[in-house]
């Protein structure tokens, strides 16, 4: 049971990659006070948790409404996750997550950036949302679903701590350190996406044979 918590935590941490978001957060909050950065960090984490929990519990009904099979979702989600992995490996994280220069300039003029663009699409993007929807199908036992929710809350806590310490981490890790970590995360994310697609293809072939 503990494996469920650990797997979901590290899978989400890799896909969300809050460490890779540090430079963007620092850039968007460079004129903010320490208290404002703490508030933005907290609400970004809360928004991410809410988005992921809603996706986890409501996603299945959305699939039924649109007539989308879980295997089709896994394949589509796997492609999105793989794309995120490639962007992390190639250094195109910001552009791939929808946080380009225009979005950053627009965000500078907003009073609150915790929901957009920080929580979505920078952190809780299509890859993590599709991962949560598929996870609901993979873990049907009530206790497993509780552990999944606890893992999401733990992810929220990690996001808060990382963003709150963004200035310190940015200086400690440096640009090269953040890039190195992002590329390691990118490799893991790429593997997760491939695994999702592989499992779905195997399921589809098995259904055809039987």
- The string of pLDDT tens digits covering residues 30-73 is 888 889 999 999 999 999 999 999 999 998 888 888 888 888 88
pLDDT at 12: 93
- Residue 75 CA neighbour count, 13 Å, CB half: 10
Confidence of residue 102 (pLDDT cuts 50, 70, 90): low
Give the pLDDT mean for 16-38.
87
pLDDT digits (tens, 9 = 90+) for 151-197: 999 999 999 999 999 988 888 887 778 778 778 888 888 888 898 89
Domain boundaries, the chain: 2-209
Closest to 13 measured CA to CA, from 199, 159, 206, 179: 159
What spatial distance separates the first Cα and last Cα of the chain, rounded to whole Å?
32
Total-model pTM: 0.81
Q: Are the C-beta atoms of 160 and 37 separated by less than 8 Å?
A: no
Round to whole Å and give the CA distance between 150 and 4: 10
pLDDT at 210: 53
Confidence of residue 96 (pLDDT cuts 50, 70, 90): very low
Round to whole Å and give the CA distance between 58 and 14: 23
Tokens describing residue 185 = 């995360």
Does residue 109 surpass a pLDDT of 50? no
pLDDT at 203: 85
Q: Are the C-beta atoms of 137 and 60 separated by less than 8 Å?
A: yes
């Amino acid at each position: 049971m503990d494996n469920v918590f650990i797997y979901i935590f590290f899978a989400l941490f890799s896909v969300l990659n809050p460490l890779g978001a540090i430079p963007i957060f620092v850039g968007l909050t460079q004129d903010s006070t320490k208290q404002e950065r703490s508030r933005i960090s907290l609400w970004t984490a809360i928004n991410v948790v809410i988005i992921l929990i809603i996706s986890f519990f409501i996603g299945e009904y959305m699939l039924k409404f649109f007539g989308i099979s879980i295997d089709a979702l896994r394949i589509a989600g796997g492609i999105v996750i793989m794309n995120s992995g490639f962007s992390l490996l190639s250094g195109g994280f910001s552009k791939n997550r929808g946080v380009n220069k225009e979005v950053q300039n627009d965000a500078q003029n907003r009073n609150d950036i915790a929901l957009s663009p920080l929580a979505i699409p920078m952190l809780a993007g299509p890859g993590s949302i599709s991962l949560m929807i598929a996870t609901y199908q993979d873990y049907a036992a009530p206790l497993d679903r509780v552990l999944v929710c606890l893992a999401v809350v733990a992810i929220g806590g990690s996001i808060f701590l990382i963003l709150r310490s963004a200035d310190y981490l940015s200086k400690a890790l440096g640009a090269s350190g953040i890039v190195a970590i992002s590329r390691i995360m990118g490799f893991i994310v790429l593997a997760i996406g491939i695994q999702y697609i592989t499992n779905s293809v195997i399921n589809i072939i098995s259904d055809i044979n039987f």
